[in-house]
Structures are given as C-alpha cells and as structure tokens.
Amino acid sequence: MKNKVIFVTGGARSGKSDFALRCAEKIGRIRAYIATAEVLDDEMKERIINHKRLRGDDWDTIEEPKNLLIAFESLHRTYDVAIIDCLTLWVSNLIKDGLTDDTILKMTDAFMQLINRLKLSLIIVSNEVGMGIVPDNPLARRFRDIAGKVNQLIASISDEVYFMVSGISIRIK
C-alpha cells in the first residue's frame, strides 16, 4: 500500500508548518522533520530555534538545505511520517548556489521518483508564490517561476493538497 503524500501551501505566516505538524501527529508516532532552512543571520537562527522548540522532542530533525535525496538516505530509523519544510527555501538555496532552472527541475523529478518509493507518509510544505504582483527584477521573477513550477509538480503527485489562509486549511485536492 502506498503511503499518503500531503502537500501544504499558502502565504507566508499562514499556518502551514503548524498544520503540517498537526497532520503528522495524527499519522504516526515516529516522525522526522527535514528542514531546508539555513542559518544565514541571527534572525533566521532564532526562527530555527523556535521551530525546533515548537516541535518538541518527539521529532528527529534532519537539516538538509539542498539535497533532499541525501536527506532521505540519512533517515536511519523507520518513520511513520516525515515533513519537508519547505520547498521554497530549497528552491531559493539551489538558485543561490547557481543551479539552472533545468537542473532544479531534474532534481525535483528525482525527488518525485523517490517519493513514489517511500515507505512512509510525507507532508511537504511550500509557499504559494503566484498570488502577488509580478516582481520587479529578473532574479525574483525567476524564483517565482521555478518555485511555482516545482509546487505544481509536487501537487500533481500528492494525494491531498491543502491551501492555508490565516491559519485555516482549505482542502483543494
């Protein structure tokens, strides 16, 4: 039996991570959290510390900002559920490292193939990037475009998709 893939999207501070944590806690007791954030400044360091504090000790945390395949290979235990938080930070990290859009899409495809072989349920968190104005610079437009495409690809293989608005989840698939 294929385990469930849940995709959670929405705006910044819309409650995506909290919703993902609640979903995961309903799915299983042995849980992993794959974090894509990098400590780039003191403010981000504090955000990461707060995220860890909110999860508590019932989670194994794997910090992997760029290679999601390696993150899954580093799961040494058998987990019921894992959260990836978040895809948009992952895409941003890859762009920052100079990867091309084609390479990012190939990495997404490899990740999607891995998802199909997983023996655990997976909750994937990502920001909705297409509801604002068109960015005024090429880098921001590139990020919006590639992140939007990655979101579409992951949503297409997900069993359930939720959109978060002000802490309220709306099931769209």
Task: Give catalytic residues, as residue numbers.
Answer: 51
Contacts from 37-44 at CB under 8 Å and sequence distance 24+? 37/63, 37/65, 37/85, 37/86, 37/89, 38/65, 38/89, 38/93
Helix (H, G, I), strand (E, B) or coil at 78: coil
Cβ contacts of 101 within 8 Å, gap of 6 or more: 142, 145, 146
Give the separation between CA 153 and CA 102, rounded to whole angstroms: 14
Angle at 46 between CA 139 and CA 34, to 5 degrees: 70
What one-letter code names the amino acid at 113?
A: Q
Handedness of CA 119, 121, 127, 129 (dihedral sign): positive
